[in-house]
Amino acid sequence: MSMWASSPFPVCMFKVVWHWALEIIRKGPTDTDVRYPTSWHAHRLIDLMGLPAPTSSDITAGPRRERACNNNEEVQIQSSNSESAKYQEVAEEFDSTRLMGAVDLLCALALLKLEKRKDDLYLTTHSLVHEWARVRQVPWLKKFYWVSAACFFTFSAETVLWDQYSSVLQPHLLSLTNGLSGMILVQEPQLMIAKILYALANLLSDEKLYMHLRMLLTQLPSDFTMSSPVYNPLATHFYTLLAFSHWYAGDNIRAEAQFLDIRKFYQSQGMATTHGDFLDVEYHIGRTQDKCREYATR
C-alpha cells in the first residue's frame, strides 16, 4: 500500500481499515456489505483530511444505512446539525492540499477489499493499483492523474460527495484535458488517464470536455487508429470516449457513426457478442439511432 499512497502514509487510513476490520469481525463473514468500503466510510472523508479520527463509539453509533461503493441503492446519511456545520466549515477551506489528500484517501477507500477467511483477515487491492503505482512515479502526470481519479471515485463512492464538491473538482478535470492537449498519447501513463476519462464520460456531459477532446483529436498522429498495433488499446478507449462526447454534445449522427466504427472493430477482432464492452456499444448504438429517428420525424 505504501507504493501508491501519499508520503508519509496517512495514519488515518490505517485507522479506517482497522475499524473496517472490526466491523467485519463484529458482523461476521456472512455479511458481505461490510467487505467493501461503504458510503459511511466515504462520508467520513473530511474527518480524515485533518479532523480527529472516528472513535470506537463513533463506529458503533455510525449510520447503519450503509452501502458498497458499487451498489445503486439510494444513499441515506444521518447527520446532526452540528456535523453539517462542521463539514461546511471544512468545505470552505478545501484548498489544493486538502484536495490531493482527499484523492489519495478516496482511491484507497475505493480500491481496498477486506475478506475474512476462517479466522484470518486478508486485505487485498484492485489489480489497477499496481499500474497506478507506476503512474505516480511520473512527476508531471502526478497531479493530473490523481485529480481525475478524485472525480471518478468521489462519484462512484458517494453521490452526495460529488454533489458537494463537483464545483471544486470539475475545473481540475478541465485542467487535465488542457494538459493532455499537444501530447502524443503513446506511453502507459497516458493510457491509464484515457481509461479514467472514459469512465468519467457517463457523468460529465460538459461541452468544454467535448471541445478539448476535439482539439486533442486534431493533434494525434495520422496512424492513431483502433487497428494500429502501437495505439490499439488507447485508441479504442479514446474513440469510445469521443463517441460519448458526441452524444452529450447533441451530435447524434456523429455519435452513431463512431459507435458503429467501434462495433466494426470489435467484430474484426473476433470479440464475442456477449462481451461487456460489445454489449455496451450495442446499447449506445440503439440509443443514438433512437435519437436520430426522433429528430427525423420532427
In a domain, 221, yes or no: no
In a domain, 47, yes or no: yes
Listed residue (220, 213, 216, 228) closest to 265, CA to CA: 228
Residue 282 has a pLDDT of 72
Listed residue (108, 96, 118) closest to 24, CA to CA: 118
pTM summary value: 0.35
β-pairing, 112-117 vs 120-125, is antiparallel
7-34 confidence digits (pLDDT tens): 444 455 555 555 655 565 566 555 444 4
Total domains present in the chain? 1
In a domain, 223, yes or no: no
In a domain, 92, yes or no: yes
Cα 103 from Cα 15, distance rounded (Å): 17
In a domain, 15, yes or no: yes
Range of the domain at 88: 1-135
Listed residue (108, 107, 102) closest to 46, CA to CA: 102
Q: Up-side HSE of residue 110: CA atoms within 13 Å toward CB?
A: 20
Residue 98 has a pLDDT of 45
209-233 confidence digits (pLDDT tens): 566 566 656 656 666 677 776 666 6
157-187 confidence digits (pLDDT tens): 444 445 555 565 556 555 555 554 444 444 4
Specify whether the CB–CB gap between 215 and 174 falls below 8 A. no
In a domain, 229, yes or no: no
Summarize the confidence of residues 56-84 as an average pLDDT: 33
Instruction: Give the cell for residue 186.
Output: 503513446
In a domain, 161, yes or no: no
Residue 37 has a pLDDT of 45
